[in-house]
Amino acid sequence: MSFDGRDTVVLFDELAYEDVLSLVWQPRPSDFGEPTALHLAEQNLRLLQACDALEEHSTVEKPDETSPYAADLARMDFKINLLLDLVGQLLTASQVRPRAQPVRFNALGATWQWSAGGAVPVVGSQGLLQLYLRDSLVQPLTLPGRITIAAQDGQVRASFEMLGELVADQLEKLVFRNHRRKIAGARVAR
């Protein structure tokens, strides 16, 4: 799995999010059924909406300097972002998170390098992939899935199951926004 960021990132022939994130794969509880999946989908939806709200959404590249409050809004935005970053650092320092590692995911599934020690998960086994998207969000995104590839070199791929339509839509939006940011960053770097 190459994480050079030069090309469009895909997984399962769909646009994918690629980053270095704290993650953990946990075997799925035996009592995991539709009520649990619905509850998990609600939590995931709230988490993705919070992540969306924390991201900067700028429709223009430069603030409208003709607005009488543009400078005040820019300063307030900067201070709020600084506060969120500081809170995120405090949260990260106060809790133990899994080791961060390269991961690629979208609404269909994820792939990562197994580094948790012990045996690589068995193909066909069910579990929950927990992804910590941002330092300022305490809860991980918890995605139910099934292992589809478990190579001897530690390469693991899981396909997601029982996400719920709204969660899948929010994941697709997250992936697309991340892709657009990378394209914009590449243009600025030129």
Where do the domains of the chain lie? 10-59+98-189
Is the distance from CB of 19 to CB of 133 less than 8 angstroms?
A: no
Confidence of residue 69 (pLDDT cuts 50, 70, 90): confident
Confidence of residue 174 (pLDDT cuts 50, 70, 90): very high
* Class of residue 134 by CB neighbours under 10 A (exposed 0-12, middle 13-18, buried 19+): middle
Confidence of residue 190 (pLDDT cuts 50, 70, 90): low
The pLDDT, as a whole number, for residue 106 is: 97
Is the distance from CB of 43 to CB of 51 less than 8 angstroms?
A: no
> Which segments of 69-152 are extended strands (E)?
100-105, 109-113, 126-132, 141-150
Strand partners, 26: 128
Higher pLDDT, 90 or 156: 156
pTM (two decimals): 0.79
Is the distance from CB of 52 to CB of 174 less than 8 angstroms?
A: yes
The pLDDT, as a whole number, for residue 65 is: 63
Question: Could you read off the pLDDT of 107-143 as tens digits, one per residue?
Answer: 999 999 988 677 789 999 999 999 999 887 889 999 9
State mean pLDDT over 40-52. 94
Name the architecture of domain 10-59+98-189: Beta Barrel (2.40)
The answer for residues whose C-beta is within 8 angstroms of residue 137's C-beta and 6 or more apart is 47, 50, 51, 54, 88
pLDDT at 95 over 80: no
The pLDDT, as a whole number, for residue 135 is: 81
pLDDT at 5 over 80: no
In 3D, which of 40, 36, 3 has the Cα closest to residue 19?
Answer: 3
pLDDT at 94 over 90: no
